[in-house]
Amino acid sequence: MTQLKQFSPSKLIGAGRSGKVFLVEKQQGLLARKIFYKDKLASLIHYFFFGAPNAYIWNENAIYCAFYRRKILSALVQFWFGDRLKVADAIAIEWNEEFKAYQFDTEFIQGKHVALRQPCNRERNSELSVLVREIMLPLQKRLLEAGLDGLIWQAGKGVPNALNNFLLVNDTPGQYRFVWIDLESGVPALFPLNPFTLFSFYLPKSFKYKRALFDDINPIRLRRYVNHHKVKLKECLGSQQYNELLEDISQLEDRQEKWKLMRRSDRSIQYHFKKGEIDEQQANWYAEHTLFWHGIELLGVLVKLAQKLVIELPVWLVKKLLSIPYLHNLKQFWKFISSQRYRLSLARNYVLENINRWQDRKHLKQEETNNLLQHLERESSSDYLNDFGVHLGIKMFFMVIELVFVPLLYLVSFIDEFIVVTWLIAGGPIYRTVYTLWRMLQNASNRKEIPWIAFLVGFIPTFGVLAYPCQIIFSAQGKKKKIAKFIVYDFFSKIGAKIPIWGGEDTQTEHFFNRFADKLVYRRGNQLVR
């Protein structure tokens, strides 16, 4: 196996619960370098089940399992899907002294995630369906048949955030091709979104393997599967690659056995040794005196917890309070109240930033971005877009109150729990309703359209910020109000992206909320304007 020289990555191109991925330029071309690291939540889960953080960080056998799994899957995926799906090939493994963790070099794939729905182009709406129904679901079935049980987690069974493990490399309708870029899990396969999947699949598999399922394979079943399809595999891969497949399976079996059979205490000791926190002599002594080692670990946890609660948390709160530019915020708030132009610019900049963000994520092509920018110029004079800017500004002002002053008033016992909860739930609807009532009276006196849609939507906690975009869509009367529609798509997509554990960008969770916005904007909008 080729070993690469040490290199300090310069461009971060992705991050997950198991590692960060950097773009590396070498003489032979571009590589994707995954450096495994210690995520706080994931490490806590790993400590509970295995006694140490993610083994890919520190365990040589574990990281080589990842290497050989990719080699095996590269061959099998070619056999299963032809050119419709491939695996980003494994290239090299090396210990990174700078990060004190293993690094994993793989083939760099130039592609994009399946498209979110948006108002300028509906031709890409089939990408998600094709990926899920024609690639991910059949892949899960094939993996199960071949005994690659642990890989089903990364293929998306019950896991909505596995969607971003796949990139689209050819977006021609009817000729979609995908690449599976991430095969290494960040947490054990015990946290699917669907509880039925947990009890019907993941828990039984964990009992079968006698441990929490974490990228485990069944080598006996895998070898039986390969032997059963020997003739067809040789026809597809050739004799040389078939023999390499058998050798990779043997290597994987040996490495997995050494990794998975480690004692819990040995995992913890070896992790701290590889991190340079203890030397080899200490590691050997602790391995013979495990009870003493567990006592040291417990003491270390208690000391860190006390340090965070007694020192770090108060210091962080004080720094946050001192960093708030109170005078500047008051000036900005007065400017917001007194200047319609400033309010409109606030709404315009908000929309502009999000359009650019969508383009950076490749969910908007350049011509689609230009289309939206042209609509932003035309729609920026709308009274309702100005009202949307008012809602945004008021929301920012009241967020400061919710995050700073309400907790302080509660801590000094000036208000009780009931007032805190009431404010958090009803604060937004109240200020939106007061403002919209005033605007309704203004419009009524001037014989203009009364924004009753904005009034009703404004009552809804959190989602009420969409009051005026919804009003614009309702009042369009056949006109293409793409900016208002984009605001709604963006808002709901952000909800899916911010949901913890199962959410995130380019996950099925984000796409679920994005499709909900599509139903609200496209279908309902078309019905209302007919």
Q: Tell me the per-residue pLDDT of 359-377, one tens digit each, with 9 for 90 and over.
A: 999 999 999 999 998 888 7
The whole-angstrom separation of Cα 279 and Cα 404 is: 46
Burial of residue 313 (CB within 10 Å: 0-12, 13-18, 19+) is: exposed
Q: What SS3 string covers 326-374? A: HHHHHHHHHHHHHCHHHHHHHHHHHHHHHHHHHHHCCCCCHHHHHHHHH
How many helices (H) and strands (E) are present in the chain, helices listed first?
26, 8
Q: Which two tokens stand for residue 86?
A: 């491939």
The whole-angstrom separation of Cα 494 and Cα 507 is: 11
For helices 219-228 and 230-237, give the axis angle rounded to 10 degrees: 80
Whether the CB-CB separation of 137 and 127 falls below 8 Å is answered with no
Q: Which two tokens stand for residue 155?
A: 């293929």
Calculate the CA 464 to chain-centre distance: 25
Cα separation of the two ends of the chain: 65
Sign of CA dihedral 475, 477, 482, 483: negative
The whole-angstrom separation of Cα 481 and Cα 80 is: 45
How confident is the prediction along the chain (530 residues), in pLDDT tens digits per residue? 434 444 445 688 887 777 899 999 887 788 999 999 888 888 889 999 999 999 999 999 999 999 999 999 999 999 999 999 999 999 999 999 999 999 999 999 999 999 999 988 888 889 999 999 999 999 999 999 999 999 999 999 999 999 999 999 988 888 899 999 999 999 999 999 989 999 999 999 999 999 999 999 999 999 999 999 999 999 999 999 999 999 999 999 999 999 999 999 999 999 999 999 999 999 999 999 989 898 988 888 888 888 888 888 788 777 776 776 656 666 766 676 666 677 677 778 888 999 999 999 999 999 999 999 888 877 654 567 777 777 776 666 666 666 666 666 666 666 666 665 665 565 667 777 888 888 888 888 888 778 888 888 887 776 777 787 778 777 654 456 788 788 888 888 988 998 888 889 999 999 999 998 888 777 644 543 33
**DSSP calls for 209-229:** HTS--SS---HHHHHHHHHHT
**DSSP calls for 117-166:** PBTTB-GGGHHHHHIIIIIIHHHHHHHHHTT-TTHHHHTTTT-GGGGGGE
Burial of residue 138 (CB within 10 Å: 0-12, 13-18, 19+) is: middle
How far is residue 452 from each of residues 102, 340, 482, measured CA to CA in Å? 59, 22, 21
- Provide the H-helix boundaries in 230-279: 230-237, 239-260, 264-274
Whether the CB-CB separation of 436 and 454 falls below 8 Å is answered with yes
The whole-angstrom separation of Cα 345 and Cα 73 is: 52
The whole-angstrom separation of Cα 28 and Cα 226 is: 32
Whether the CB-CB separation of 86 and 167 falls below 8 Å is answered with no
For the whole model, what pTM was predicted?
Answer: 0.82
